Amino acid sequence: MRTFVILGVILILASIVGAKFAIDHQTSAGTSTHKNAGEANQPPDKIVCWGFFDVEPGEARLYPTQFGRVVEVKPENYQVKEAGEVLLQIDDKLAKLDVEKAKAAVKVAVNQLAEAQQLTEFYKLQKEQQEAAIRALDHERTTLELKRDREVLPLDNPKLAETIKRFYVEGLAQLDEKKKAETAKLNQLKLQDAKLKIDQAEADLDAKNVQLEQAQEMLKHFQIRAPSKGTVLRVHVRNGETLGPNPRIQAIDFLPDAEIVVKAEVLQEWGRFVKEKQYVEIEDDTYNGPIWKGEVKSISKWYAPTRSPVIEPLRYNDVRTLECIIRVEGGGSAKLIGQRVRAKIMIHN
């Protein structure tokens, strides 16, 4: 029992020493070189901060907007050669049937528009025929009136003269009735607005085309397409798996093809000393490995909580930090996305 107590005390002391070492390491040599309170605002020679290898656009977490059964998915570490390549496909048979249905509706609307356009020519021809018939009746009436006016009635035969007069009166009356009927037909044709029918057919065709575009656009929502060149980092789904409408995690982690940088977070205490183009030494945070050279490329415009809070030894998640992007110079050893590093920003070069 005594042995366990001693080991516990040793463990506590080791934790305290380790925490103090980490704090001293984070705040760098700045505080250790302050000789008196008057030097408290003097910048340190360097600032040590944690960071990760990443690309500036960041990892993309992709998920389809339509749920269903997965029928195809690219494997992890798959290299995408061009933007738009399909990374994941959901079963879209019903959506494809909707596209075919919309295409059929467009064909029907096209035929209806053609019929409306033909109707215009039909109405035009009918009107011309009616107008010609009315003109013919007017001509026939004029001829009959001239003939009536030139007719010499037999005065010695009153009965025959009366018959001739009645013939002209009835003939003119019949012509007037025919003209009245033909005029009514012409007016009825004028009421048939062929342009209105064409406008309605065109509007219906536009609506059917929009429905077709919607159906075709819906097909894209059953896919995950690569936003750019890059690499499939991790796949969280499998063929045959059914994806629901409320995902717990993204389907694919995608890494855009871009320059690898370090996204480092400087504690607010030291953020004011960091400037662009300052020289940086970068080394792995877990072992004495290779050292990369770098330069501060850009600095965030605000102090914010750490971007990716994780529970790790000696890592603070409850402080404000200033994020900066560090350009890594040269190739050197392999730089893996997500690899935690220490970035030593040299304040005095």
Residue at 96: amino acid letter: K
* Average pLDDT for 332-345: 84
| CA-to-CA dists, residue 158 to 154, 162, 167, angstroms | 7, 6, 14
Distance CA 259, CA 248 (A): 30
pTM: 0.60
Closest among 291, 298, 231, 233 to 263, alpha carbons compared: 298
Q: What is the pLDDT of residues 230-268, one digit of tens each?
A: 999 999 999 998 888 888 889 999 999 888 899 998 888
- Backbone φ, ψ for residue 98 (5° rounding): -65, -35
Tens of pLDDT, residue by residue over 89-117, are: 999 999 999 999 999 999 999 998 888 77
Q: Is residue 188 pLDDT above 70, yes or no?
A: no
- CB pairs under 8 A, 24+ apart, for 142-147? 144/168, 144/171, 144/172, 144/175, 145/172
> Residue 278 has what DSSP assignment?
-
- d(CA 153, CA 161) in angstroms, rounded, equals 5
Q: What is the mean pLDDT of residues 163-188?
A: 76
Chain length of the chain: 349
CATH value of 95-219 in 1.20.120, 1.10.287, 3.90.1200, 3.30.390: 1.10.287
Tell which CATH architecture fits domain 61-90+223-254: Beta Barrel (2.40)
127-161 tens-digit pLDDT: 777 777 778 778 778 887 787 777 767 777 777 77
Whether the pLDDT of residue 10 is over 70: the answer is no
CATH code for the structural domain at 2-56+259-346: 2.40.30.170
Give phi and psi for 116, each to the nearest 5.
Answer: -65, -40
Distance CA 347, CA 294 (A): 13
Q: Which of 340, 264, 260, 259 is nearest to 298 (CA)?
A: 264
Q: Where are the domains of the chain?
A: 2-56+259-346, 61-90+223-254, 95-219
